[in-house]
Amino acid sequence: MSVVLTSIEGAVATVTVNRPEALNAINTDVLNALEQAFAEVEANPQVRAGVLTGAGTKAFVAGADIKAMQAFGAEEARAFSAHGHRVFALMEQSRLVWIAAVEGFCLGGGCELAMAADWINASAKSKFGQPEVNLGLIPGFGGTIRLVRRVGQAKALELCATAEMVRGEEALRIGLANALYEPGEVLVKTQEQAALIASKGSLAVANAKRVIRAGADLPAERGNAFEQQAFGIQFGTADGQEGMAAFVEKRRAGFTGK
């Protein structure tokens, strides 16, 4: 049985961590399979948006596989962390918008995986947290960095230092989640949102993602200059010309990704 499943419906790819018997815990096999899945989806021109989820209703991903990590020394732990960082960053660097659909537990490495997506849609019964200090550890897959950028430094430190879990409603309030749905609905709703994104100009979506992500780390003046350049680039695309022509002619645009 594959530990990661990929399905494509229309222009939307859904990647599922598939270890429900272990609450979808992350180990080296999962990281390798995610790396392959992300690469295959990225290379597929049919796909224009991605959804990331976990198998079953109990957990998105309940964390890293503690039994597997128990035997690590310091260097093995550093290498495992580096592997996770490399794989998770593939979503951030992707031309696609990736949305995490979270049902159930989303803890430790699972929370870090979800935060590597462009945003998170959550079930009302989902539970988020970075409980590593309970094990005498700290987050190792980007949690200390991405959590700060989502919820601010003080709240990120509170969550990491107390190891307390927050439910979906609180995750929405603090900005960790973008949307909240009833249990059992989050995956379908997220796939519908991904299909909406996939119907837009794919080059424009990719360019908007690139500018927003890069601009977040730039001074305002440089960020604005970056946006101006990217704005101009879109006018040289077939999609840009088609979108404007369709608007003027009052018809639906036929985007081709060119």
From residue 107, alpha-carbon distances to 143, 194, 203, 240 in Å are 10, 24, 33, 41
From 35, 75, 132, 182, the catalytic residue = 132
Residue type, 45: P
In the residue annotation, 132 being an active-site residue is answered as yes
Residues 6+ apart with CB under 8 A from 22: 62, 65
Rounded CA-CA distance 172/186 in Å is 14
In one-letter notation, the amino acid at residue 105 is F
Reading the block at residue 52, the tokens are 């990331």
- Cross-strand pairs, 105: 59, 127
Q: Which has the closest alpha carbon to 178: 97, 77, 71?
A: 97
Exactly one of 21, 35, 76, 112 is catalytic; name it: 112
Per the DSSP assignment, residues forming a β-bridge with 12 are 9, 49
The answer to whether residues 243 and 207 touch, using CB atoms and an 8 Å cutoff, is no
The amino acid at residue 194 is: A
Residue type, 83: H
Is residue 103 annotated as part of the catalytic site, yes or no? no
What lies within 8 Å, CB to CB, of 135 at 6+ separation is: 66
Active site residues: 112, 132
